[in-house]
Structure 1
Amino acid sequence: MLAGAAAAHADDAVKTAGGVRYHGGDEILLQGFHWNSTRVKPGGWYAELKSRAAQIAADGFTSVWMPPPWRDTSSWKDDAKGTSGGGEGYFWKDFDKNSGYGTDADLRAAVAALNGAHVKPVFDIVLNHRDAKAEGSTLSIPAGKGRLRTDNCDGRPCDDGDPFMDGSSDLNLANAENEAMFAAELKSLHDTYGAGGFRFDFVRGYAARHVDDLMKSSDDGGFCVGEFWKGPSEFPEGDPNRSKSWQDLLMAWSDEAKCTVFDFALKERMQNGSVPDWRYGLNGNPQRSWREVATTFVDNHDTGYSPGPYGGQHHWALRPDRLRMAYAFILTTPGTPTVYWPDMYEGATPTPLHDYLRRLITIRRDAGVRAGSDVSFNTDQGGLVARVTGTRQTIVVALDSRLTEPRVISDQSFVPALEDDGGKVRVWESGTVTPVDVNFRCDKGETTKGRSVYVVGGSKELGLWKLEDAVKLEPATYPTWKGTISMAPAFATAWKCVIRDETGTPDALKATAAWEPGDNNEVTPAAGANTEGSF
């Protein structure tokens, strides 16, 4: 097994009381790719993940949803629409790991870097369909043996799920040989490649029990999530599922697969409902066991924008004016939240969201919000107000609401934690967090009159990277500057030394600032911790 692999992520309880693999309920997932990753960085995406591993950890993520690991040489072109694609991993050829995202060695290096940063890699697994006609495949699945959907099984297609498109590329997972093949491959991904969990694609294409079986044989204590994207209206007339809710369908799949499930009930409400309707997602269900299995998201490689050719798929993209509210909701409420790579790191939105999302993640982790945390909702103040009880603090989040003082809905005392989106997003936090003193030092800080050395970084105590809110140090033994800053004990925080004018407007400070060179420094706040940087 790779050094620092899944064992480094052991939790006290990796399953819910109902046996669902949620890895303790404190995961925060980053989708570590988008639809055009193989085109914007051909052969270099794994290197991108490796280079960002430390930053991903510092930003508060506990897991990265990796792209499909198996090679995909497919390609397609639509001259009428002027579009083309292929190679994303969803029409794979065989289990060779040399893909459009990088080489086998690149994959191992990226996973080792993530595991080394205590971020678990969650591999995307495509069980239902593959490119059976690809030349040079090392995987032979013969026809007529019941292994393909197109085979004849007592006068019916050989399958126990929905077809992918016309079904001509589908594998029959009910076939013992197919299931054993995948079981061996998933075990290899865990044992040899350091996978800490799996994301299962297009799970409507096969019976949910197969997912449970595969997890038992490969990584029974790992995290897993399924993409069950099928609404009630997609079931035929007369099928009992047609009259069920989105939540019912998702929970039924999770109960059988024993994995978390992407919260398409919430996604549907975000797309089609008003903001107050967001409380009807799986993550807002009154029953804890339902909230625990919800993996929430705003957009992903299928639904939203992707940097690069044609802007990605855009199958069900959220309205841009709701984006900041939607992330505030999933990152402060129950479930396992998922952040989409372009929203975090590639500026897909008119205003890059990195600092905003990092602040929300900080609030979540500081408060101890987990997948099954208690939540209550209020709509009397307009919009949607959620009150979430974490293990350390209580959070109140108001979306598109006139609420400006949480005492209106609670007898607790709260302090403001975040206001954003023109007041459409307001977050308060309560509870007791005892700050700790952290000692900062900046060496070689040579200054002129009217300029001093400051520290600025990714926490509210360090100014959230705003130069005007940076914390001034003192020239203890010039040109070494020191200072002690009280900080809330939380996860690792990035920071830097900066020389700036002692007064001035934000724009003026930015224009004349002299930053510490190189990568960010990092500190995990603890009593008496020492951290240093240098010009």
Structure 2
Amino acid sequence: MRIRPVLAAVVTVLLAATLPAACSGREPAEASVVPPGARDVIVHLFAWPWASVADECTRVLGPQGYGAVQVSPPQEHVVLPGKGYPWWQDYQPVSYRLVSRRGDRAAFASMVRACHAAGVKIYADVVVNHMAGGASTGAGSGGSAYSQYAYPAVPYGHGDFHHCGRNGTDDIENWGDRWEIQNCELVDLSDLRTESPYVRGKLAAYLDDLVSLGVDGFRVDAAKHLPATDLAAVLDAAGGDPYVYSEVIEGGAGEPGPQEYTGVGAVTEFRYGDVVGGAFRDGDLSGLRDLATRMRVGSGDAVAFVDNHDTQRNGRAALTYRDGAPYALAEAFMIAWPYGVPQVMSSFTFGHPESGPPAASDGTTTAVSCGDGWQCEHRWRTTAHMVALRTTAAGAPVTHWWTNGTNQIAFGRGDKAYVSFNRSGAALTRTFQTSLPAGTYCDVMAGESSAGTCTGPAYTVDASGRVTATVGADSALALHVGARGGPATPPPACTSAPVTFAATVSTTWGQNVFVTGDAPALGGWNTAAAVPLSAAAYPVWSATVPLPGGTTVQYKYVKKEGSAVVWESGANRVRTTAGAEPCGATWQDTWR
């Protein structure tokens, strides 16, 4: 068995009582604790419909070298039209039928086949701790009737759930009490008796069904709300050899911790986003060299992320897609740095934390069109081009660490790759010491390597491993041995660089938002001449302004209401416009 020795003896005893009849002819599962190979970058296509996932695997993820997709829970869930079909309805199961607002069983199976053909694995988000709560009754996404503690399509009844009854409620009241966390209800969600052989059998049969369709692994939702021994027993009774990583949100004293679940598989390391996201948000990168010492679990046990679907919405994430360049650099660092299995978030835009994905009038998720309500961060060049660098440098140690002591760092990955991150407002020009073989390398943060030619900047590494390069303000440099070649014909210079300012700003009735700065086109800091922004995509205010190419610009946002002017707080924002084609850019900001 590959479940770690700390749980092996317990799980062995439990198996006889938990193996469902439907699984008796299959090999028992072996929850994998080993990261899934060199192509290990996971992209979370949050809430994407199955047909769109299949298409993305074929056209983007496979060619870019992504290793796996985490897909949203595939089981039948509640339908909440009165609440606007919120994203979290998918985490309230009604049955284990594979029919959701993203597609049916046939579409799910077709997606798995298409992604496998592209060399991309499928990790399903699975909800095993609970069923739908009591706030809604009726029919689920597949038409199954249900009410709280009664889910006839499984079937589950009243005796299959915990009823803790403390302080006159079944909900968790004391988050310092381990028993309550694992035996009471999480926000009214019907808490399954996962110690029950019958419940374990139903859960194992569900996971076994997913494995039979080709699912390669599971992200276990709300894992700390069931004991690790219960989870291990369920996983061990299912089929296949899935890669397992459990969501274990770090809490306070008395709460189950991430380390308790590393015997089952990997865990989601929530500290990673706090530390790495905070460093790139604040421009304080020098401490990242000791990143691993600041985590709760070791690299081999962790799935790392800058943000996920929860932290984007609950305010925990230090950075999200709304933060633009700092977020893009944090994602690129995560992929380049050898800690854990990196998970890239690919989200949809939202104005309210509970908003669901783009959908038809009946709540069915619509096909993904990046930029039309779907953010698609995984397609950003600064993210997608780093995936090949990570694969190329797999297993190589960190070498030649350098920092200016605050907001600039650089490091190598053995003789396979070298990167530098500049979170300052000015360009960094330096001769870096690397271990790369002599030759000419494409900067994959700024272009591609195609047929031995660099579509962006190219840099020469000399016989001693030295390279002189310029890293732009709020930018990065990335070289690796899989992207070598000579310079292409230089792109035409930008005499004018149209910049779309896109600022997320909450306003009151009568207020409007403007941008001003040191460029004449921005009014030269004169608020009377500031550029008005449109609220057509509120809370995002935007306008496109032609600025000089290759120029560093300082700017800030202001709110106006009549003659009253309110400036956003903090230092001036500083960015540099493109010096060569493509000249256009979008600068995404959030009001400070």
Residue aligned with 1:292, SS: helix
Measured at CA, do residues 223 and 68 of structure 1 come closer, stay the same or move farther in structure 2, by a change above 3 Å?
Answer: same
User: In structure 2, what is the equivalent of residue 131 of structure 1?
Assistant: 132
Does the 8 Å CA contact 1:378/1:386 hold for their aligned counterparts?
A: yes
* Alpha-carbon distance in 2 for matches of 1:350, 1:174: 40
Does the 8 Å CA contact 1:150/1:167 hold for their aligned counterparts?
A: no
- Residue in structure 2 matching 1:356, options 345, 368, 382: 382
* Alpha-carbon distance in 2 for matches of 1:219, 1:406: 54
Measured at CA, do residues 386 and 462 of structure 1 come closer, stay the same or move farther in structure 2, by a change above 3 Å?
Answer: closer
Measured at CA, do residues 384 and 292 of structure 1 come closer, stay the same or move farther in structure 2, by a change above 3 Å?
Answer: farther
User: In structure 2, what is the equivalent of residue 225 of structure 1?
Assistant: 245
Shift of 1:296: 1.8
User: In structure 2, what is the equivalent of residue 235 of structure 1?
Assistant: 253
Map residues 168-183 of structure 1 onto 2, 5 A cutoff: 168-183=189-204
Shift of 1:363: 2.1
CA deviation string 1:349-402 (max 9, x = no partner)? 69995333222212222x3235x9557855444325253536x61333324267
Give the root-mean-square deviation of aligned CA atoms.
Answer: 4.3
Measured at CA, do residues 387 and 215 of structure 1 come closer, stay the same or move farther in structure 2, by a change above 3 Å?
Answer: farther
- Residue in structure 2 matching 1:22, options 23, 35, 46: 35
Shift of 1:31: 0.8
What amino acid is aligned across from residue 142 of structure 1 in structure 2? G
- Residue in structure 2 matching 1:256, options 259, 263, 277: 263
- Residue in structure 1 matching 2:206, options 175, 181, 185: 185
* Alpha-carbon distance in 1 for matches of 2:491, 2:377: 19
User: In structure 2, what is the equivalent of residue 308 of structure 1?
Assistant: none
* Alpha-carbon distance in 2 for matches of 1:357, 1:433: 16
* Alpha-carbon distance in 2 for matches of 1:184, 1:110: 21
User: In structure 2, what is the equivalent of residue 451 of structure 1?
Assistant: none
Residue aligned with 1:68, SS: coil
Does the 8 Å CA contact 2:164/2:183 hold for their aligned counterparts?
A: no
User: In structure 2, what is the equivalent of residue 337 of structure 1?
Assistant: 342
CA deviation string 1:169-200 (max 9, x = no partner)? 22122222222211121111102x21011111
Residue aligned with 2:94, SS: coil
User: In structure 2, what is the equivalent of residue 268 of structure 1?
Assistant: 274
Measured at CA, do residues 163 and 151 of structure 1 come closer, stay the same or move farther in structure 2, by a change above 3 Å?
Answer: closer
User: In structure 1, what is the equivalent of residue 157 of structure 2?
Assistant: 142
Measured at CA, do residues 302 and 168 of structure 1 come closer, stay the same or move farther in structure 2, by a change above 3 Å?
Answer: closer
Shift of 1:58: 0.9
Residue aligned with 1:130, SS: strand
* Alpha-carbon distance in 2 for matches of 1:227, 1:188: 21
Does the 8 Å CA contact 1:122/1:198 hold for their aligned counterparts?
A: yes
Measured at CA, do residues 214 and 350 of structure 1 come closer, stay the same or move farther in structure 2, by a change above 3 Å?
Answer: closer
Residue aligned with 1:398, SS: strand
* Alpha-carbon distance in 2 for matches of 1:65, 1:90: 14
Does the 8 Å CA contact 1:75/1:87 hold for their aligned counterparts?
A: no
Shift of 1:47: 1.4
Measured at CA, do residues 28 and 397 of structure 1 come closer, stay the same or move farther in structure 2, by a change above 3 Å?
Answer: same
User: In structure 2, what is the equivalent of residue 323 of structure 1?
Assistant: 327
Measured at CA, do residues 47 and 350 of structure 1 come closer, stay the same or move farther in structure 2, by a change above 3 Å?
Answer: closer
* Alpha-carbon distance in 1 for matches of 2:486, 2:75: 44
Shift of 1:317: 6.1
Does the 8 Å CA contact 1:30/1:341 hold for their aligned counterparts?
A: yes
Residue aligned with 1:53, SS: helix
CA deviation string 1:411-436 (max 9, x = no partner)? 98795634569433323436x6697x
What amino acid is aligned across from residue 385 of structure 2 in structure 1? R
* Alpha-carbon distance in 2 for matches of 1:271, 1:126: 27
Shift of 1:208: 2.4
What amino acid is aligned across from residue 405 of structure 1 in structure 2? R
Measured at CA, do residues 197 and 254 of structure 1 come closer, stay the same or move farther in structure 2, by a change above 3 Å?
Answer: same
* Alpha-carbon distance in 1 for matches of 2:401, 2:117: 39
Q: Does 1:92 find its partner at 2:93? A: yes
Does the 8 Å CA contact 1:204/1:230 hold for their aligned counterparts?
A: no
Identity %: 17
Does the 8 Å CA contact 2:271/2:296 hold for their aligned counterparts?
A: no
Residue aligned with 2:342, SS: strand
- Residue in structure 2 matching 1:203, options 213, 220, 223: 223
Shift of 1:90: 0.3
Q: Does 1:61 find its partner at 2:85? A: no
Measured at CA, do residues 68 and 360 of structure 1 come closer, stay the same or move farther in structure 2, by a change above 3 Å?
Answer: same
User: In structure 2, what is the equivalent of residue 346 of structure 1?
Assistant: 370
User: In structure 2, what is the equivalent of residue 111 of structure 1?
Assistant: 112
* Alpha-carbon distance in 2 for matches of 1:166, 1:351: 31
CA deviation string 1:261-298 (max 9, x = no partner)? 22211111245454446856996349998112221222
What amino acid is aligned across from residue 426 of structure 1 in structure 2? A
User: In structure 2, what is the equivalent of residue 383 of structure 1?
Assistant: 407
CA deviation string 1:325-366 (max 9, x = no partner)? 11111111122112222389734669995333222212222x
Does the 8 Å CA contact 1:60/1:362 hold for their aligned counterparts?
A: yes
CA deviation string 1:37-77 (max 9, x = no partner)? 5xxxxxxx111122222122112211110110101123175
User: In structure 1, what is the equivalent of residue 15 of structure 2?
Assistant: none
Shift of 1:114: 0.9
Residue aligned with 1:360, SS: helix
User: In structure 2, what is the equivalent of residue 400 of structure 1?
Assistant: 423
* Alpha-carbon distance in 1 for matches of 2:234, 2:262: 15
User: In structure 2, what is the equivalent of residue 453 of structure 1?
Assistant: none
Map residues 505-516 of structure 1 onto 2, 5 A cutoff: 506=581
Unmatched segments (≥5 aa) in structure 1: 1-13, 38-44, 242-248, 305-311, 436-459, 470-504, 509-535
* Alpha-carbon distance in 2 for matches of 1:213, 1:298: 31
Unmatched segments (≥5 aa) in structure 2: 1-29, 139-144, 146-150, 171-178, 349-367, 447-470, 494-579, 584-592
Measured at CA, do residues 201 and 316 of structure 1 come closer, stay the same or move farther in structure 2, by a change above 3 Å?
Answer: same
Does the 8 Å CA contact 1:21/1:222 hold for their aligned counterparts?
A: no
* Alpha-carbon distance in 2 for matches of 1:350, 1:181: 35
Does the 8 Å CA contact 1:208/1:253 hold for their aligned counterparts?
A: yes
Q: Does 1:50 find its partner at 2:57? A: no
Does the 8 Å CA contact 2:277/2:327 hold for their aligned counterparts?
A: no
Measured at CA, do residues 220 and 349 of structure 1 come closer, stay the same or move farther in structure 2, by a change above 3 Å?
Answer: closer
What amino acid is aligned across from residue 109 of structure 1 in structure 2? S
Residue aligned with 1:180, SS: helix
- Residue in structure 1 matching 2:46, options 13, 26, 33: 33
Does the 8 Å CA contact 1:27/1:336 hold for their aligned counterparts?
A: yes
Residue aligned with 1:65, SS: strand
* Alpha-carbon distance in 2 for matches of 1:62, 1:350: 17
Residue aligned with 2:332, SS: helix
- Residue in structure 1 matching 2:304, options 291, 296, 304: 296
Does the 8 Å CA contact 1:288/1:374 hold for their aligned counterparts?
A: no
TM-score, normalising length: structure 1: 0.61
